[in-house]
Amino acid sequence: MTNDFIKQKLTGKFGDLLTEWSEPYGMLTVTVPREMNLKVLNFLYDEPELAFRFLTDLTGAHYPDRVGEELSVIYHLHNLSENTRMRVKLYAPVAQPDVYTATGLFSGANWMERETYDFFGVNFLGHPDLRRVLNVEEMDYFPLRKEFPLEDQSRIDKDDEMFGR
């Protein structure tokens, strides 16, 4: 199964709704509208010629410079019989980071979506138990968003003069 074949099948079904096609390191990557993530994932799962039935990974990313689509959810899918992998991405605004859950399709998405919620604040609609999984419940922020400086600017031991800069 080639990347061109997968792209042809997806374009035939969804047309111009799928964007940002690329092949970094040979892995087909496509961006889908966030409200269509389940339709595309179901198609990739159910279509006999594609059969992407294994969710290898699900994670998030924060792009603060992409106004209106600051948060990204990335799915890595695998067709085990053809040993083919692909990546599906979507973007959501940080003001309303709602994305439909994929737990009904991939049971392994349960933990991965909880982790993505915990660190990025993506709200997976319909998730059976969306709560923090690694951080404490009292946290009122999401630590992997790029909203905070990397270093504490008030620390005097990090003064550039001490390092000859």
Instruction: Please state whether the predicted TM-score (pTM) of the whole model is above 0.85.
Output: yes
Please tell me the distance from the alpha carbon of residue 21 to that of residue 132, in angstroms, as a whole number: 33
Please tell me the distance from the alpha carbon of residue 75 to that of residue 88, in angstroms, as a whole number: 5
φ, ψ (nearest 5 deg) of residue 110: -55, -60
Domain ranges within the chain, ordered by starting residue: 3-163
> When comparing pLDDT for 11 and 158, which is higher?
11
Answer whether 153's CB lies under 8 Å from 164's CB: no
**For 128-133, what is the mean pLDDT?**
91
pLDDT confidence of 7, banded at 50, 70, 90? Answer: very high
> When comparing pLDDT for 32 and 143, which is higher?
32
The CATH architecture one would assign to domain 3-163 is: 2-Layer Sandwich (3.30)
- Closest by CA position to 89, among listed 137, 41, 151: 41
Query: DSSP character for 130?
Result: -
**For 58-68, what is the mean pLDDT?**
94
